[in-house]
Amino acid sequence: MILEAGRWLGKGTLLAAGRSLGQAVECEVGIEREDDAVTLSGTWLEEHQAPVGFSVRAARNEEGTWTLVALAGALRLQGTAKLDSPPNLALLWNDAGNLHVTAALFAISGGYGCRGFLRDGERVRTWEIAFRLKQEVVRGPNVISLQQRRPR
């Protein structure tokens, strides 16, 4: 599984079918790992929209795949994923069967890339996001920087 524990920041685009310009999206995700489970929780922010909190729980199942349960705003989705080798793949759906989400997670330089599709009735949207590990700044009287600064 390529999901590494920590706080991740993502930036990318969301594109609706028939459109040529994507809409900017940002995402902050916390990943917590256990022996046979992973929890992702965070916030999804589309340009000109209110932030949406989400949570995804992935647990290893007896078939050798992973069972998913996702909550995003008022949505509840369930699904399955292949997380044991890259790229990690997921398929989610709602109980009514009229909403489907796919996602692929793969390693990129310095983080992860995520691409996917959402089909809601006849509407199809796609996204791609690059995630980077959020670096916590450590400050204190005994901390010095070894990085040379450039003159301004």
Q: pLDDT band for position 27 (50/70/90)? A: very high
DSSP code string of 53-122: EEEEEEEE-TTSSEEEEEEETTEEEEEEEE-SSSSEEEEEE-TTS-EEEEEEEEEETTEEEEEEEEEETT
What mean pLDDT comes out for the span 33-43?
93
Q: Has domain 6-133 been given CATH number 2.60.40.60?
A: no
Residue showing tokens 């079918």: 17
* pLDDT the model gives residue 112: 93
* pLDDT the model gives residue 140: 59
Residue 63 falls in which region: left (phi positive, over 0), alpha (psi -120 to 50) or beta: alpha
Sorted by where each begins, the domain ranges of the chain are 6-133
pTM: 0.81
Residue-wise pLDDT for 113-124, tens only, equals 999 999 998 899
Q: pLDDT band for position 107 (50/70/90)? A: very high
Distance between CA 95 and CA 115 in Å, rounded? Answer: 23
DSSP 152: -
Distance between CA 105 and CA 84 in Å, rounded? Answer: 12
